[in-house]
Amino acid sequence: MTGLDPGYLTVYIFSLASVAAIIFSTFLHARRSSVSLSPRRLLGLTKDEARRLAAGDAVFLMHLSIALGVGLTIANSILDPTIDNVPFLKTAILIVSVPLFAGLAAAFAWRVQRFVQSKRVEAELKTGKSFTSASTYLQVVLMLAIALTASELILLWLPSLALVGGVLGIIRNGLVAIYYSRPSVNLIGHFDKPLASIKTPFSLVDVISGKTDPSQIRVGVGKVSEFEPSQKLSYDSCVEIGACEAACPATAAGRPLSPRVLVRKLSLLSEGAGASDDPFSTVGEEELWSCTSCGACVASCPVSVKHLDIIYDLRRELVAKGKIDREKSAMLENLAQSHNPYGLKNATRGEWALGLGVDTVSSNPRAEYVYWVGCVSSFDQRAQKVAAAMAKILKHAGVSFAIMANEENCTGDPARRLGEEGRYQELAYDNIGRLNAYGVKKIIAACPHCFNALKNEYPGFGGSFEVVYHTQLISDLISQGKIRIPKDKVQKISVTLHDACYAARYNNVFDEPRKVLDASVAEVREMGRKKEKTFCCGAGGSNYWFKVPQQRSMAAIRTEEAARTEAKEIATECPFCLSMFDDSTKATNTEMGVRDVAEIVAECI
């Protein structure tokens, strides 16, 4: 826009007004949601965005292009009256517009692809015409915003059409103010919430001691109005980007779940005047049980929607109302009676170690570490080999350690992910009491679910321990020279590593197992989805203990991905993953071995 003619002034004034509308809308949503827009929060968000940029997340890069494209065109419209007087600035804006346009073009293409896929998913899930229409509308708005921004960038190069660019900018800013201020606030408010965090609705100790009235406790959510403001902000912030759906293993496996559809259904339900306040009028039970809690949806969402928080609270409501089948009930009963989900005698928990010269913490209370074996490696015959391998490695490296044996209970993770908070806390407090009684300070965990519970959840119940994952410790022992693998002991095979969700995505453990494998095998071949982008084996979210309807198993999908690397073996770092891939390689006739990283190292020493 150039000159001072009435047309120019009108467009310029409306441009400023549209920018003001974005700012006002953002501050309004922040105030309603009690989200701070302080410089500290914005700086923290900037650092987090830079981290994701460095990680090369393709979806993030596309949406960063959208955000920067919007920002660049807004800056250009504000500076327009004086920008001709600063040739360097104008040239810089034009140069920057080129890569942003490329990013916007890629984002638009991806949006079209996701739109087509989303309609397929909605047809499979039978979401109904009203949902499909609402979904289509919001996705078209997003594509329109991208197209308008890309058009503005092009028009920056055509001064004669600057007025047209100004009008397009006003329309686009209106869309941003109406549809994207709330997601921006949600991102600012929730970007740094750890994936491993999970709400604790009550303290069992306070209930038992009488400090808390049990009748006042609300464990799950039975009404849409009972969702916390942060949860409502979260599901209302979904703008149908679809990154969660693209990353979700449950959707890929043909289960009755799409994280996008789930949160949008709740948002539409809460928006409906006079609509039902019952979330289960629109969310199905099998939909909730289909989630493996792998966190791919949360980690992939550019606007930080917290799908898992919502799923956990709805699961808790189902459990509280007794709406669980025999498999789920049996698992919870086993945890209550035998302190393990198998229902086996806990007295036999340490039998895998007989004859291996492994101390128990009762016989060696001064051991530096407690090796937390976990239920699967204690009772499953195949996984017991992992426990034996870990014992061999620790003894070889001279690490002072002991096991809890029959004094170890399940951490409670299966109960908590299922939605039974009381049972989880019973087990947690019991375990913490035993560990504290022995003065335990350091724990080694070879199960990522145990690792996550001990490291991230137990501190909230009085368990302050230094918890290290087994691949982290093995990596350290190798780098310290306490484990030496001679060249002639390096296994002449190629392996592909499957990152466990609760290790890699929840706790950022992905470099260490690769360092261990680099030292112990001839070649590591990576799958397409790796590290924090890993694909779930299907056992998480307590899914290992019950069946969910699906078109194909997640483990089979992942096995095919592993086979495409042409590696000889799948290296795992989780006993659940080990079991799932043992089964899937046999079921699919895939000629690949499956071993835990610890087993591979143990054979080298």
For residue 332, is it within any domain? Answer: no
Residue 245's domain is classified under what CATH number?
1.10.1060.10
Decide which of 274 and 142 is more confident. Answer: 142
- The residue whose two tokens read 């339900």 is 269
Q: How far apart are the first and last CA of the chain?
A: 73
Residues 233 and 365 in one domain: no
C-alpha to C-alpha distances, 585 to 384, 460, 516, 532, 594, nearest whole angstrom: 19, 39, 24, 23, 8
Count of domains for the chain: 4
Cα–Cα distance for residue pair 605/603, rounded to 1 Å: 6
Residues 270 and 300 in one domain: yes
For residue 201, is it within any domain? Answer: no
Residues 152 and 257 in one domain: no
For residue 200, is it within any domain? Answer: no
Residues 508 and 583 in one domain: yes
User: Which residues are within 8 A (CB) of 181 and not within 5 positions of it... i.e. 6 or more apart?
Assistant: 22, 25, 26, 28, 29
C-alpha to C-alpha distances, 223 to 157, 227, 266, 317, nearest whole angstrom: 53, 7, 11, 10
Cα–Cα distance for residue pair 527/541, rounded to 1 Å: 23
For residue 34, is it within any domain? Answer: yes
Of all residues in the chain, the percent with pLDDT exceeding 70 is 99
Q: Looking at residues 81-104, what average pLDDT do you find?
A: 91
Residues 459 and 522 in one domain: no
Tell me the residue range of the domain where 61 lies: 6-190
3-class state of residue 576 by DSSP: helix
For residue 1, is it within any domain? Answer: no
3-class state of residue 307 by DSSP: helix
Q: Looking at residues 130-143, what average pLDDT do you find?
A: 97
Starting at the edge strand found earlier in the chain, the sheet holding 442-445 runs 401-403, 369-372, 442-445, 466-469
pLDDT tens track for 217-247: 889 999 999 999 999 999 999 999 999 999 9
What is the band of 81 on the pLDDT scale with cuts at 50, 70, 90? confident
Q: Looking at residues 248-267, what average pLDDT do you find?
A: 98
For residue 445, is it within any domain? Answer: yes
Residues 470 and 517 in one domain: no
pLDDT tens track for 456-487: 999 999 999 999 999 999 999 999 999 999 99
Residues 277 and 377 in one domain: no
For residue 86, is it within any domain? Answer: yes
pLDDT at 215: 84
pLDDT at 52: 83
Q: Looking at residues 26-35, what average pLDDT do you find?
A: 96
Q: Looking at residues 67-94, what average pLDDT do you find?
A: 91
What is the band of 1 on the pLDDT scale with cuts at 50, 70, 90? very low
Q: Which of 455, 477, 499 is the last residue of a domain?
A: 477
Starting at the edge strand found earlier in the chain, the sheet holding 593-596 runs 521-524, 491-497, 569-572, 593-596
Mean pLDDT across the chain, nearest whole number? 95
Q: Looking at residues 241-256, what average pLDDT do you find?
A: 97
Residues 139 and 213 in one domain: no
pLDDT at 517 exceeding the cut of 90: yes
Q: Looking at residues 29-39, what average pLDDT do you find?
A: 95
Residue-by-residue DSSP string for 51-83 = HHHHHT-HHHHHHHHHHHHHHHHHHHHHHHHHH
pLDDT at 60 exceeding the cut of 90: no
Residue type, 559: T
pLDDT tens track for 416-439: 999 999 999 999 999 999 999 999
Cα–Cα distance for residue pair 56/60, rounded to 1 Å: 8
Report yes or no on whether pTM surpasses 0.85.
yes
Closest CA to 251 of 280, 211, 294: 294
- The residue whose two tokens read 């949601």 is 33
pLDDT at 87: 86
Residues 473 and 599 in one domain: no
Residues 431 and 489 in one domain: no
Cα–Cα distance for residue pair 53/110, rounded to 1 Å: 18
pLDDT at 262 exceeding the cut of 60: yes
Residues 46 and 153 in one domain: yes
Continuous segment of H or E residues that includes residue 582 = helix 575-587
Residues 427 and 496 in one domain: no
For residue 328, is it within any domain? Answer: no
- Tell me how far apart the 2 most distant CA atoms of the chain are, in Å: 93
- The answer to whether residues 547 and 509 touch, using CB atoms and an 8 Å cutoff, is no
Q: Which of 190, 219, 240 is the last residue of a domain?
A: 190
Judging by beta carbons within 10 Å of its beta carbon (0-12, 13-18, 19+), is residue 85 exposed, middle or buried? exposed
pLDDT tens track for 358-409: 999 999 999 999 999 999 999 999 999 999 999 999 999 999 999 999 999 9
pLDDT at 4 exceeding the cut of 90: no
Residue 356's domain is classified under what CATH number?
3.40.50
Q: Which of 437, 453, 477 is the last residue of a domain?
A: 477
Of all residues in the chain, the percent with pLDDT exceeding 90 is 91
